[in-house]
Structure 1
């Protein structure tokens, strides 16, 4: 799951799982966002690189459905330390390094997260609600003896994030039915034997127009190109450069207000992974694990935050897609731990 750009970068309050409440991700009521959507669709259809793939299908603005109560977790399943509190944990300063035993646990957590995500994708079809997806994901995770990491993180009420169409990330599952032609990112994180495994993917719902398919394809390619730069001793800034080059070459923009992060025993830690061009210092170290999770937009790269404090949507209503993997840095490259 992405985190917001840390407060020291954009002078924000402490970052939330949803990206913080500050200068870029302003809290806006849904009807303000909806009013911008048609303008956003017009911008997206004329952005360089989209014309040859056809116009984007006009969709109704994203609206909030009814959010059901959080699902119960059996008492014998270990919880992350933030569960039961309302505070949002600070991003840990430690670089999460793993010995052989730690790597075994990371592989297990990430393998489970990947399987859950793959299963969740099979549920994506018109008329299915995101709440139904949440229930299915929740059951699969607890049946495996794991805890759904988003549940209770800073008060997040659900076990998975479901981000539809213009939602950049961290959409709350609800009673809204998926529509033919939607795209939806499902973001799964599990806590197993004291370790978090984190992954997400954007799925197509029914018959999706070619422009939207292209956005999804390019976004996945951006992730894989970012990962391809990774190995011991490589500068983190190469990730953002490679992602930006590919997105811009295809006429899309890289969302800057959400970042990847270290992951392991702690859900969110250093290093912060910027997906856009940057000059941040730091090099990758063999044995560390972190996420890369670019969000790519057809239009605006700025976001509005709904007043639920979590749902982040493009300011102009244009479509956004995201893909995410947890990776392990090795001497010669990177192992994708959440590859299904």
Structure 2
């Protein structure tokens, strides 16, 4: 699409005509000799009569107008608008805390094909679909076992987050559970002054056995920074020992941070939880649009230059056409018998 940065410049279009009306025309004073036989003399020399020597000014006037319009168009800065470029601005930071402790290897979940898979594989499968719907969010990933580790920083590249999640394996962070430390690490990852909504989703199947900071205390710190925490419990509530499921602690964490507690007994319940999270954490996508502009003022400027050169070429050609070269050794005399003027070499 063609547009002009300074459209007002076209108001100067009648300027040459106004100048011509206001300013007096240039007076030309030429010295000439008037002789009664001037026309005869010019015919003898091979020229045309003085009445035909005045060049026609119509074409020159048209060229002058075209040159002025082209120059004025260049001054108005013509620009070509490129197709709009739309960029989506993230409106929420979403951090996933994934438990990689040894109990996540128990195969008590079923996938879509009905095959028994481990808890971690079920989490990966459902999280993969969950991440695919996170358009407009910045997603980060923290894994934890004996300690918490940043697996993926906040990014809008959801495919990268999915790939890094797929590389997670049970036990790679240690056999025990440090949920409190994972929450603490997650809190520090958020930008303190960011206007985006801040959400943590923690997925774990065991009680905290390794953290230096209790999960509830870490949740209070998160609440002070306007970070919501949703806890998802994975596993069998009847399990005892270090692998037991501490539901009360997870409920307290969610309550302190303004979130909600969920229990996933199987894969269907886990998928249902993510659907519920979609309803709770509604997505608001803010977009900005920008149309690049490319200056093309040089094209009308080039046209003006070519027209000016063409006008000069026409003026030079017309001047040569109306001028007959006279050889230096030619002389004019009057024939005494006929009385006619003749050119003698």
- Per the normalisation by structure 1, the TM-score is 0.22
Bigger RCO (CA 8 Å, 6+ sep):
1
Larger helix percent: 2
